């Protein structure tokens, strides 16, 4: 759909075919970023990997980010950070279990995400005694200006396979990445969450560097381009029963989130796809696997799953509109 938002020509892509054509035939044309006020102010003129204009500066910045932090090799080397931060989180939750208090899952996930990232990037976690990251509030305020921040909604329903992760891991004192790599159903759960609730509904906008013909449209230069990942990933022509939470749809399926399957693009596509995908997925899988391994979880006050308000707050990224509290009970393997 091509329209004008004010004076800006804007293309909204809501089918899987258009991103495929965009990446296969016109990737460079669609690799720029539009100049936006909030990122320009907060990111010192968009001098970051996510929002900087396409060109030599972006190529070098992305190269440094990948080599030093985001490559598969570096993600594996930073496993000790995930180990230590996850162990500290588990201990904090155990202390909460003593008095029967609930845990705010959203705050817990945001805190550990900030702690892991700050340790990997800055060498220290800037953590308060209660486990909160001192840069957490700064991150939240920045994301509120961009949109809304969320790690995701990671605990929808595990009724189909209770404690399946433990079964895969066996009777062990901890979960490690080797165990997680054997948890095929757990990985399907993560994928299905990313399908139903992509981190960004509308992928970070692009801007055309020149005019181009695509999909029967003449798209002018300097047009903003939004890819509607939320709609594509719920398209009934691409997905069976798309509104249902069905992790098993990914069992024995080659569909992945690496940007080659255009019906499933939670991390974007092409050269402006998210370079932090491997880092983010590794951290998410490891933290959630340990939360499920070390604790049983239930809703407080005898509430049922169908009682949950799953409304989302939309912005640059997607977050749950209301806080999500769960009651943990320690589990001893």
Q: Please enumerate in sequence order all residues whose Cβ is within 8 A of that of 32, keeping only pairs 6 or more positions apart, or say none.
A: 53, 54, 206, 207, 208, 209
Q: What's the rounded Cα separation, in Å, for the pair 191 and 154?
A: 10
Q: DSSP class of residue 65?
A: H
Secondary structure class of 83 (helix, strand, coil)? helix
Structure token pair of residue 201: 């509904």
Q: Does the annotation place 274 within a ligand binding site?
A: yes
Integer Rg of the chain from CA: 21
Spatial CA neighbour of 289 closest among 171, 197, 199, 155: 155
Which of 194, 147, 193 minimizes the C-alpha distance to 51?
147
Sheet holding 103-104, edge to edge: 103-104, 325-330, 295-298
**Segment 329-332 long-range contacts (CB within 8 Å, at least 24 positions apart):** 329/97, 329/295, 329/296, 329/297, 329/298, 330/94, 330/97, 330/294, 330/295, 331/293, 331/294, 331/295, 331/296
Q: Which residues sit in the known binding site for heme?
A: 274
Q: Which residues sit in the known binding site?
A: 274
């Amino acid at each position: 759909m091509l329209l004008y938002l004010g004076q800006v020509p804007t293309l909204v892509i809501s089918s899987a075919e258009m991103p495929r054509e965009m990446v296969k035939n016109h990737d460079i044309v669609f690799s720029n970023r539009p100049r936006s006020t909030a990122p320009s102010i907060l990111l010192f003129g968009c001098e970051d990997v996510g929002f900087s204009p396409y060109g030599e500066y972006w190529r070098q910045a992305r190269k440094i980010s990948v080599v030093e932090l985001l490559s598969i090799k570096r993600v594996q080397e930073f496993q000790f950070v995930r180990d230590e931060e996850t162990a500290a989180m588990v201990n904090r939750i155990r202390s909460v279990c003593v008095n029967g208090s609930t845990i705010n899952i959203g705050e817990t996930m945001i805190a550990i995400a900030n702690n892991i990232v700050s340790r990997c990037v800055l060498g220290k976690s800037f953590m308060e005694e209660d486990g909160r990251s001192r840069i957490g509030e700064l991150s939240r305020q920045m994301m509120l200006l961009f949109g809304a921040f969320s790690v995701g909604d990671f605990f929808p329903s595990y009724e189909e396979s209770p404690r399946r992760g433990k079964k895969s891991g066996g009777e062990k004192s901890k979960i490690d990445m080797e165990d997680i790599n054997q948890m095929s159903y757990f990985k399907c759960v993560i994928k299905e969450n990313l399908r139903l609730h992509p981190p960004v509904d509308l992928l970070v906008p692009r801007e055309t560097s020149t005019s181009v013909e695509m999909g029967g449209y003449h798209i002018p230069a300097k047009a903003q381009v939004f890819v509607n990942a939320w709609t594509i990933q719920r398209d009934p022509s691409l997905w069976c029963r798309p509104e249902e939470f069905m992790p098993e749809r990914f069992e024995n399926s080659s569909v992945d989130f690496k940007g080659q399957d255009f019906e499933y693009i939670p991390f974007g596509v092409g050269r402006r796809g998210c370079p932090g995908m491997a880092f983010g997925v590794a951290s998410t899988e490891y933290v959630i696997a340990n939360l499920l391994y070390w604790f049983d979880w239930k809703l407080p006050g005898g509430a049922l799953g169908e009682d949950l308000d799953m409304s989302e707050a939309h912005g640059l990224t997607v977050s749950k509109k209301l806080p999500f509290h769960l009651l943990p009970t320690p589990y001893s393997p």
